[in-house]
Structure 1
Amino acid sequence: MSDNEEILVIGGGIGGMTAALALARQGRSVLLAEQAPEFGEVGAGLQVGPNVMRMFDRLGVIEPVRDIAFFPDNLILRDALDSAELVRIPLDREFRDRFGYPYATIHRADLHAVLTAACAEHPQIRLRTNCKVVGVEQDERGVRALTESGEELAGTALIGADGLWSTVREHVLGDGEPRVTGHVAYRAVLPMEEVPEHLRSNSVVLWAGPDLHLAHYPLRRGELFNMGAIFHSHRYQRGANVFGDPEELHEQFKGVCGEVETLLGKIDEWRMWVLRDRDPVEHWSKGRITLLGDAAHPTLQYLAQGAGMAVEDAWTLAAQLDSAPDVPSALREYERLRSVRTARVTLLSRLYGELYHASGVTRAVRAQMLEGWPAAAARESFAWIYNGI
């Protein structure tokens, strides 16, 4: 493969930016096309495990990421009805020594800004906005992306990093809309000083309840407080970043403990996301075209690894394009290396959602199973993720 052939990356989110950066660091020329008028990230906080921090180190952005991150003290699971603590995993020196990197919480917009700046500064990356791709074509010599404006973008390979509603996936797989889970996420961020002092925590805390949960943690070096409330709803709206209904939220969380009720009452305006995923697939490439991140394997947030899997995808894909004899062979090997790990994340995320949302006797079984679980054992249950690639 020629070192100066351009690779097309469709989608300028975290996955697309990471892919562009990983490819450029391997000496590839990249054109990244984003349909929005400017680069940005919708959403609030995300959790970044040691496996992802390792990738940021390899990509040369670990220091600016550290500057925007918060490093929590623990991962804590509590019962949303009686406030009992069920599990605590310390994120201490022993945790960092075990996995090589810390656990962080980061505002999505902050992380996206770091990645965008790194791409903008790289001489082998071209960034395009207002560039909506509506179709893709390929032959044995290369690929073409057709834009809404009638422009044709040409390259040697094309990566669809265009998210849950991927146009590129429709070309590659044609498998329709993602699966509706029946749950929605209400998310909000507020200044830390607006949180009652007795409810402020330097940990990631998840309050698990019947068909619902509330998760919260600090962001931006502890300046902000991120909250995500998940519950069953019939309000299935496509897309994200629409206003939620506080009345529906409080109705669904009726009967929770005082701490959760107080936290929910601190915010009057929420943004709502409908939660969707897809059943895992073994293949998501066709010839010179492949998928990455949510376009390939969208997952629910219960293991906090959606963005992390996209970042790992990017590094793996770049490595295979650097070592394989041709583009189709590289994409097949990339699939082989990523399909089982990402499928495990998708399937176990569903299972953890059921664990968090347990009710009745299932809730009692959860409490009994977790009672007395040693912190080291709880930590090791996530080693398959945090050991990384």
Structure 2
Amino acid sequence: MINQEQKVIIIGGGIGGVAAALASAEAGHKTKILEQAPQFGEIGAGIQMGPNAMAVLDRFGLADEITKVAVFPKRLVLKDVYTAKELAALDLGSEFKEKYGFPYIVLHRSDLHRILVEAAEKNPLISLINDQIIDKVEENERGVTVTNQRGEQFIGKAVIGADGLWSKTRKYIYDDEAICSHYVAYRGTVPIEEISNDANMDDVIMWIGPNLHLVQYPVRKGELYNQVVVFKSQNYKPDSDEWGTPEEMDRVFEGCHPLVENALTFIHRQIRWPMYDRLPIDNWTKGNFTLLGDAAHPMLQYLAQGGCQALEDASYLADMLHVHGENFQQAFLDYQEERLPRTAKVQKSARTWGEIIHAENPVSILLRDTLLKKKEAKEFEMIDWLYGHKKLMSKEVSTS
């Protein structure tokens, strides 16, 4: 079967892929999303959205729906995993919101994805198709051809690869391998009534220690409590699942503060998430094909920016599609010219921040804690580059 509708084709129906479809449709293009799963949905637990991401969600008209299911934390807090001493805090109140234009929120990942998908389903320019495992992308005089696992072909006037960390479409541009950090994560949400009264419902808390951390915050308007346990495995084995096990997690966190040890009893142990990224690359585009989100710039989770950067991609891509119309190659080239340095900086900074919070050397820990202690909760200079990025949300793009 050959489907020759002249649409923009998005490969991947996750957060980045659906946002890319909204971007394409905003610029007036009929758009088709090809998703490999049998139905649209997200796995995982909580997700953090900085004001840079909220700007994009607002641009696409989704801020009100997001607000219905989001939690608006008052602070981001770092705590010592052994002593519970507060090492640093960032105030997310009125001054933060006024400076960056939008609030910092936390919500369930599936809620965010559902709202994006519902917006796509309501858009007459967007169609969504499931059970599409894409094996090949190629461009010829007919357009960009996408071939699925059954040999069926879709021919689009342009294609965007948004198929995540393990992207197959990335190989059309660059043949590299994902890099394992030797860290694993275990996630889970639990009903609020199961959580100790010691939990602070107003904060996003990151408990940090050598080669490990725990993140906690409420989601779904405070109905659930999200927890993510992360640690470096000393038993890493390539091409194996026999490392970073729940048993190793228990050993690694032995001796931590009682609140942390108690938190581990609520963690879901069935799904283990090895943590990977890739090195930044200097090109995402070939002809009328480009990459977006984790397919373009997969990053470690330590800055909570994976989903945020995918949304930024979609917003700037929309701007360039408005400017260049049917000239997709030029739109894609201008899109990546802006986004390549920005996302590379976030990728590298996420790695660096991971090294800082997981420091082992006592001197490094002392230096880190001393410097953090000097930072005021309303001192925003260190995060301006991340949350103050301006090329995000404007539909008012000059076409001259």
Supply the distance in 2 between the matched residues of 1:307 and 1:295 (Cα, whole angstroms): 12
TM-score (norm 1): 0.94
Structure 2 residue 120 is matched with structure 1 residue 119: yes
The corresponding residue for 2:394 is none
Q: CA RMSD in A?
A: 2.0
The corresponding residue for 2:287 is 287
Supply the distance in 2 between the matched residues of 1:238 and 1:158 (Cα, whole angstroms): 31
What SS does structure 1 have at the residue aligned with 2:198?
helix
What SS does structure 2 have at the residue aligned with 1:101?
coil
The residue identity in structure 1 corresponding to 2:25 is A
Retained in 2: the 8 A contact 1:276–1:300?
A: yes
Residues 158-207 of structure 1 deviation map (CA, whole Å, 9 limit, x = unaligned)? 100000111100122122x2011111111111111100112243210001
Retained in 2: the 8 A contact 1:236–1:274?
A: no
Change (3 A) 1:160 1:239: farther
Retained in 2: the 8 A contact 1:244–1:269?
A: no
Retained in 2: the 8 A contact 1:41–1:112?
A: yes
The residue identity in structure 2 corresponding to 1:305 is Q
- Structure 2: state its 5+ residue gaps: 392-400
Retained in 2: the 8 A contact 1:163–1:295?
A: yes
The corresponding residue for 2:376 is 374
Shift of residue 261, structure 1, vs aligned partner: 1.4
What SS does structure 2 have at the residue aligned with 1:37?
coil
Retained in 2: the 8 A contact 1:188–1:271?
A: no
Q: Which residues of 2 match residues 242-321 of structure 1 at below 5 A?
A: 245-267=245-267, 269=269, 271-321=271-321
Shift of residue 141, structure 1, vs aligned partner: 4.8
What SS does structure 2 have at the residue aligned with 1:41?
coil
The corresponding residue for 1:199 is 199
Supply the distance in 2 between the matched residues of 1:91 and 1:239 (Cα, whole angstroms): 41
Shift of residue 251, structure 1, vs aligned partner: 0.5
Shift of residue 139, structure 1, vs aligned partner: 2.1
Shift of residue 235, structure 1, vs aligned partner: 5.0
Residues 125-150 of structure 1 deviation map (CA, whole Å, 9 limit, x = unaligned)? 01000111110110255201011112
Change (3 A) 1:307 1:239: farther
Supply the distance in 2 between the matched residues of 1:236 and 1:42 (Cα, whole angstroms): 25
What SS does structure 2 have at the residue aligned with 1:109?
helix
Supply the distance in 2 between the matched residues of 1:211 and 1:304 (Cα, whole angstroms): 18
What SS does structure 2 have at the residue aligned with 1:376?
coil
- Structure 1: state its 5+ residue gaps: none
Residues 103-138 of structure 1 deviation map (CA, whole Å, 9 limit, x = unaligned)? 000111111110111101110001000111110110
Change (3 A) 1:287 1:60: same
Retained in 1: the 8 A contact 2:320–2:331?
A: yes
Retained in 2: the 8 A contact 1:172–1:289?
A: no
The corresponding residue for 1:172 is 173
Supply the distance in 1 between the matched residues of 2:62 and 2:79 (Cα, whole angstroms): 34
Shift of residue 322, structure 1, vs aligned partner: 2.3
Supply the distance in 2 between the matched residues of 1:284 and 1:239 (Cα, whole angstroms): 30
Retained in 1: the 8 A contact 2:142–2:155?
A: no
Structure 2 residue 339 is matched with structure 1 residue 338: yes
The corresponding residue for 1:130 is 131
The corresponding residue for 2:45 is 44
The corresponding residue for 1:144 is 145
The corresponding residue for 1:362 is 364
What SS does structure 2 have at the residue aligned with 1:31?
strand
The corresponding residue for 1:54 is 55
Supply the distance in 1 between the matched residues of 2:308 and 2:341 (Cα, whole angstroms): 15
The farther-off stretch of 366-375 and 276-285 is: 366-375
Supply the distance in 1 between the matched residues of 2:335 and 2:168 (Cα, whole angstroms): 20
Shift of residue 244, structure 1, vs aligned partner: 7.5
Residues paired across the two proteins, number: 383
Q: How many percent identity over aligned positions?
A: 41
Supply the distance in 2 between the matched residues of 1:317 and 1:24 (Cα, whole angstroms): 11
Change (3 A) 1:13 1:238: farther
Retained in 1: the 8 A contact 2:236–2:243?
A: no
The corresponding residue for 1:183 is 183
